[in-house]
Structure 1
Amino acid sequence: MLKRLIYLLLLIPLSCIDPYQVEVPEGEQLLIVEGTITSGPGPHAITLTRSATYGSDYEGFIRPVQRAIVSLRDDQGGTVLLTESQTAKGSYFTDAAFRAEVGRTYTLLIQTSDGKLYSSAPEKVAAVPELKNLGFRTVVIEQDGGENPKSGIQLIAEVDDPIEENNFYYWRTGPAVYILETRPDLYTPPISPTNPNPIPQPKPCCVYCFRTEISDNRSIFVETDDSFNGLTTYLPAAFVADDGMRFVNKFRIDVRQLGISQDAYRFLRLVQQQTETSGSIFDPPPATIRGNMFSLDDPKEVVLGYFIAAGESTQRIYVNKSELTFQQNRAIIPDDCREVEGANFDPPADWKP
């Protein structure tokens, strides 16, 4: 039987398969404009990048746009020139003294290094109701497959909405500061050719530091007062996840409440809807969301992003670990806390819990 099988296999013709070469043309490089100016303190940033039409998930397809001329023009003819950052490529900043004025209208103008001209539609700075108070509630999110639940805090904005106008709200988080606790008593030098078997070498200092970090909260929190016009209400403004370090001791964060235009609200709401799709067959199909930017040279050119001009009201909140109802696994850092990026032994000058 085995011999017969071998014989049959020998009768089967064998051949090589040539690989099929697929040439995929690179998509059109689209200009993406992201930036907000507010009535709050500067500097304010505008970021310019270019991305292929088939998305930004592929490494190398997002490229910063450098050496551009970026300026703001107001409705009274005043012009403010932005300066490109030396470290953050493609980011352009106003000076720290610049604040957008409520009631004024601003236009963003861009000239790229190859001479192409772009402009935003005029954006009027809306007055923003005061962010009266900032609270929080703890959130625990159960995970599938028996994994440890995720947890964090939902920041809640208390707003006294004025009755005489239609308001559109947008919340952004500012820098966060927290007391970082590490374990220098567990320090062991890294393995190296000269030290293949390192032994523990506890450090005498330091356990406690103050660490500053820029929030990576990518969720969009926007709201219109259609259902609470003229009332005091409480609205979700941000979510901060527990990473095993932030809430071990004391945590502080600023929340900026922005008053935006109706068009800006519609744009952000569409982006929010697309980013929060669940992946089911009932989700709306993804689509290119056009903002308020356009080319002055070619009206048919697609420009992505939105230039926002907004009024700003800010509140700060401190959170103690004793106020939380969740207990995330604590991150162990076996080193001097001053060795952690963004950490310093001395507290910030405005640390006043």
Structure 2
Amino acid sequence: MRKIILSLLYVGIFLGLGACVDPYEVEIESGAQLLTVDGMITTDPGRHSIKLTRSDTYGSVFEGLIRPVSLATVLVRNQDGVVTYLTEDSEVKGNYLTPEGFAAKAGDTYTLQIQLQDGKTYTSLPETVGNPVPMGNIDYYSVEFPVEGELEPESGVRFVVDVEDPSDENNFYYWRTENAMFEVNARPDLYMDRETRAPAPKDCCFTCYLAESVGNRSMFIATDDDFNGLSTKVTAMFIPDDGLRFITTFRMDLRQLTISASAYRFLRLVKQQTELSGSVFDPPPANIRGNMISLDDPDEVVLGYFMVAGETNERMYIHGADLDYRQPLSLIADDCRVVVGAEENPPSDWNP
């Protein structure tokens, strides 16, 4: 009986307090909408892209944190005043492209200039294009990472590049992967009706081709402070194995970019921040200022970096059978076209 009386007393106190407190409405400011610039031009002929987005530092239920910035005027200008206009991609808003076949010239200096629809203007600090450095031999091999409590380790493929570093200049390197694509293998003959669970084999399709943007575990950069003028091996890429990529054939273009010292410092800070361990000893995350400034308000924070680079690249085909370890097969008991983005026919340049 005593327990019941005490419980009723606590409930009465709680309800009484609730009746005496007026609700307090908190209005939270949405935060600054920061312009973010992401892109580069290189010495490799093609259509180079600059992406413009707006990101909120905080917003209602975190909706629309990243939005493309459309209908801007975007151009690059070299030290001689030669201007190249970029046009907005008709399919991807906020993505601005150089003309076909455009290539930056090694040794030239470029600035990126932007005018938004509301009239605000931005410019980058000048960036000078480095000389392309040829890539030597590229080795790749599988690596495993034991996972506590799991029978199967995590794994992936590591790429190591032979760099023949020039001795007459201080070089800064940045490696990226583009145009990743792989064969998707499926078993439509094992398909079962979802309602009856009875076998209902399909005739098509066993093999498809999937293009993707591979998420890397790290940012791969290097400076030749320790190997200036020497030949050395540098880890240039790591591609995680998700149980699908390396079943048969995986393709990618490995890009070796020689960037400026200031671009290298920017990427090193980004790398340090993205690889924080999550412990209490980590420094608090912060916006990293790039080389973009507002001409209307010098105090405005503009995120991102406009890069220029000398580029060499090589297309690689990785055959899963050549790897020492692969993740267990992720079986697709259906038509391979059910995988979002998968195409039945290979691209015209598929040549493993």
TM-score (structure 2 length as normaliser):
0.91
Alignment match of 2:55 (pick from 31, 51, 56): 51
Q: Could you report, residue by residue, the CA deviation over 1:15-66 in whole angstroms, capped at 9, with x for unpaired residues?
A: 2525543322111111111111111132111111111235999342212111
Pair 330,270 (structure 1): closer, same or farther in 2 beyond 3 Å: same
Picking from 81, 98, 102, the partner of 1:98 is 102
* Residue of 60, 63, 68 corresponding to 2:67: 63
In 1: Cα distance, 2:9 partner to 2:212 partner:
69
The answer to whether the 8 Å contact 1:134/1:316 transfers is: no
Amino acid at match of 2:288: I
**In structure 2, what is the equivalent of residue 282 of structure 1?**
281
Alignment of 1:100-179 (within 5 A): 100-146=104-150, 148-179=152-183
Q: CA RMSD in A?
A: 2.2
What is the match of residue 6 of structure 1? Answer: 4
Gaps spanning 5+ residues in structure 2: where? none
**Shift of residue 268 of structure 1?**
0.3
How many positions carry a matched residue from both structures? 346
Aligned with residue 188 of structure 2, among 184, 188, 196: 184
Instruction: State the one-letter code of the partner of 1:336.
Output: D
Alpha-carbon distance in structure 2 between the residues aligned to 1:278 and 1:56: 29
Match of 1:254, as an amino acid?
D
Q: What is the distance in 2 between the residues matched to 1:346 and 1:133?
A: 31
Task: Indicate how the Cα distance of structure 1 residues 53 and 347 shifts in structure 2: closer, same or farther if over 3 A, else same.
Answer: closer
Indicate the residue corresponding to 1:260 in structure 2.
Answer: 259
SS at match of 2:285: coil
Task: Give the residue type in structure 2 aligned to 1:229.
Answer: N
State the Cα deviation string for residues 104-134 of structure 1 (Å, max 9, x = none): 1111111111110000011111102101222
The aligned amino acid for 1:204 is D
> CA 1:317/1:269 → structure 2, altered by over 3 Å: closer, same or farther?
same
Q: For residue 317 of structure 1, what is the aligned residue in structure 2? A: 316
Partner Cα separation in structure 1 for residue 180 and residue 138 of structure 2: 15
Classify the secondary structure of the residue corresponding to 2:149.
Answer: helix
Q: Tell me how far apart the structure 1 counterparts of residues 272 and 153 of structure 2 sit (CA, whole Å).
A: 25
Which residue of the partner structure matches residue 202 of structure 2?
203
Give the Cα separation in 2 of the matches to 1:340 and 1:100: 38
SS state at 2:130 partner = coil
Gaps of 5+ in 1: 191-195
8 Å contact 2:188–2:205 — kept in the other structure? yes
Residues 70 and 111, structure 1, Cα contact 8 Å, conserved in 2: yes
Change (3 A) 1:57 1:323: farther
Give the Cα–Cα distance (whole angstroms) in 2 for the partners of residues 100 and 57 of structure 1.
42
Please state whether the residue corresponding to 1:82 is helix, strand or coil: strand
Q: Percent identity?
A: 52
Of residues 279-288 and 9-18 in structure 1, the stretch that sits farther from structure 2 once superposed is: 9-18
Give the deviation of 1:285 after TM superposition: 2.9
